Structure 1
Amino acid sequence: MKNIANVLIFLVVAGGIYFGYKWMKGFKSSGTKGETYAVVVGISDYLNGVDAQSATQGQLNDLRFCDDDAHIFYDFLKSPAGGSVPEENIALLIDNQAGKAEILRQLDAVFAKSGPDDRVIFYFAGHGANGFFATYDIDLNNLNTSLQHREVKEAFKKCRAKTRLCFADACMSGSMKNRQREVTRQDERMLSVRSFEDPESGLVVLMAARSYQSAGENPKILHGYFTKFLVDGLQGQADKNKDELVTIKEAYDYLYLNLASLPKYGPEDKGQIPVIFGKYDENMPVSWLKSA
């Protein structure tokens, strides 16, 4: 009987070690012990936009590389360093796929799949202004057609994931930090969720520029500066201490160093400084190079 008891104890301990190892491996590869769910948006060609070189009249100029920016961020998420996120967990919306209604629909649908141990990400590349992102079908005569920052915040509020990341390569995107119209008490009851910046939620909002600055694109690198530096940093260039992890602080520091060093083109150029806010641990890993 004693031998049988010892065997059973050994099996229990060995099983605990094995499954603990599997759990930790999953934790390190995905940033949580669960899944990653993401909505990735890139808009270069707008419904009411025109090519900057064209004499045609339009509400706003089309952009050049936001679709490419979305694609490289999408590819990063699918890579081992990004967590090997499966395609079915990512909604990729490019140009005419990225109307306001569809972005909000995908935010709700994709984020609703998450549980408390999961990670959700919203990435946006396109035009931005104080208080909103420009969707494909934006009508500048009716700004309700834009994706309001408060609507993005509400989408994050409704999801159950404790780890929530928001990245935007857009002009004036840092205005998302500003206080805007609060949802009504009835809205809050309907949402029945924690505050956008609950200290237990692991929220990171990382924007390409301050509320009065533009976010630049560069034809030499075929991308927006913010996204190119962000992805380069997450792929290893931001790993300052060489521990094969890129933390959110390392990612921000790398972005700040590179964006603040960009040359200015005259007195009207206000530069480009990234903005980060939220409630998070600075040592939160966002990239795992050991897996790459």
Structure 2
Amino acid sequence: MLTNLLIWVSSFLGYLPTATPGTTYAVVVGISDYKALSYAAGDLRFADRDARQVVTFLQSKSGGNVPMANIRLLTNRQATLSAVQQALQLFRKAGTNDRVILYFSGHGLPGSFVPYDARPGNQGKMLSYQAIKAAFHESSAITKLCIADACLSGGMTQQKISRTAIESKVNDGRNVAMILASRSTQYAVEDGQLAGGAFTHFLIKGLTGQGDLDGNGIVTIRELHQYVGPAVRKRTRGRQTPMFYGRFSDSLPLSYR
């Protein structure tokens, strides 16, 4: 059940569009091997693999048959701060009937995600939440999705500006959703038995059929939340609670079987 995490939804049901977007543009980032880290001192194991799985989904029928020309995949050493910032300019190509998606899997810090070439203690080398929101704001797309499998990612829901400013600058009266692996105080778990992040594992399972709870061939954002949330909490024994946050219709379709 979507409750206080979706505080803006109820007054907009029936108003926000739910039709299939015309074209999808996606930036997909996965970083396991960091420049300043080693496997023994902080590197991840599966983030790049998770990113490739997301691309495979997007290119499938369920994901909309998105052509690779509309996807920017950046893994490990490719995912420098400048490269990710450049990739996000892809969203400017989107028209009003289109959809843009950012997927990030890697380390997260308060207020930012960590690119490949991050420097410890240097905030200027981090991918800030504000920079991501600015990239979404600059896009004309009718549907905007930010999906993050990173520690502390729930912090994206914490704003330093007023809600009025958020609505005008970030949402623009459109479907805007943050689908985040954990609360702002929680780590995102990598699961050796699943060979991936627990969140991304169940995200992909949900989008490829398990999340079609009513069996009508469409996985809506509400259904995905109802599937992913309990599955991740159970798998991580309550250590991780995904967050679905934003301004959108519960019936927003995310995949088709």
Instruction: Give TM-score scaled by structure 1 length.
Output: 0.78
Percent of aligned pairs with the same amino acid: 39
- Per-residue deviation, 1:262: 2.5
Q: What's 2:25 paired with?
A: 37
1:213 pairs with one of 169, 186, 193:
186
Q: What's 2:134 paired with?
A: 154
- Please list, as runs of the form range in 1=range in 2, the aligned pairs for 1:95-244 lying within 5 A after superposition: 95-108=76-89, 110-180=90-160, 194-198=168-172, 200-244=173-217
Kindly indicate whether residue 48 of structure 2 is the aligned counterpart of residue 67 of structure 1: yes
CA distance in 1, matches of 2:236, 2:200: 17
Detail structure 1 runs of 4+ shifted over 6 Å in the superposition.
Answer: none
Q: Alpha-carbon deviations, 1:58-93, whole Å to 9, x = none?
A: xx5100000000000010000000000000000000
Q: What's 2:9 paired with?
A: none
- Per-residue deviation, 1:181: 6.4
Amino acid at match of 1:149: Y
3-state SS of 1:249 partner = helix
Amino acid at match of 2:254: V
Q: Alpha-carbon deviations, 1:22-78, whole Å to 9, x = none?
A: xxxxx97xx21x1000000000000001112xxxxxxx5100000000000010000
Amino acid at match of 1:83: G
Q: Alpha-carbon deviations, 1:134-160, whole Å to 9, x = none?
A: 000011121110000011000000011
3-state SS of 1:112 partner = helix
Q: Alpha-carbon deviations, 1:101-132, whole Å to 9, x = none?
A: 11011101x10110000000000000001111
Contact kept? 2:25, 2:94, Cα under 8 Å: yes
Higher RCO (CA 8 Å, separation ≥ 6 residues): 2
Q: What's 1:15 paired with?
A: none
Contact kept? 1:256, 1:273, Cα under 8 Å: yes
CA distance in 2, matches of 1:151, 1:276: 20
3-state SS of 2:199 partner = helix
Contact kept? 1:135, 1:146, Cα under 8 Å: yes
3-state SS of 1:82 partner = coil
Q: Which runs of 5+ in 2 are unaligned?
A: 1-17
Q: What's 2:228 paired with?
A: 255
Amino acid at match of 1:279: R
CA distance in 2, matches of 1:88, 1:248: 26
Contact kept? 1:150, 1:181, Cα under 8 Å: no
CA distance in 2, matches of 1:172, 1:121: 20
Q: What's 1:287 paired with?
A: 255
CA distance in 1, matches of 2:107, 2:160: 19
- Per-residue deviation, 1:260: 1.4
Q: Alpha-carbon deviations, 1:176-214, whole Å to 9, x = none?
A: 0011368xx9xxxxxxx942133x210011100000000
3-state SS of 2:93 partner = coil
Q: Which runs of 5+ in 1 are unaligned?
A: 1-26, 53-59, 186-192, 265-269
2:59 pairs with one of 78, 82, 102:
78
CA distance in 2, matches of 1:233, 1:282: 16
CA distance in 2, matches of 1:97, 1:250: 34
- Matched length: 238
* Alignment RMSD: 1.9
CA distance in 2, matches of 1:130, 1:174: 9
Q: Alpha-carbon deviations, 1:1-39, whole Å to 9, x = none?
A: xxxxxxxxxxxxxxxxxxxxxxxxxx97xx21x100000
Amino acid at match of 1:248: I
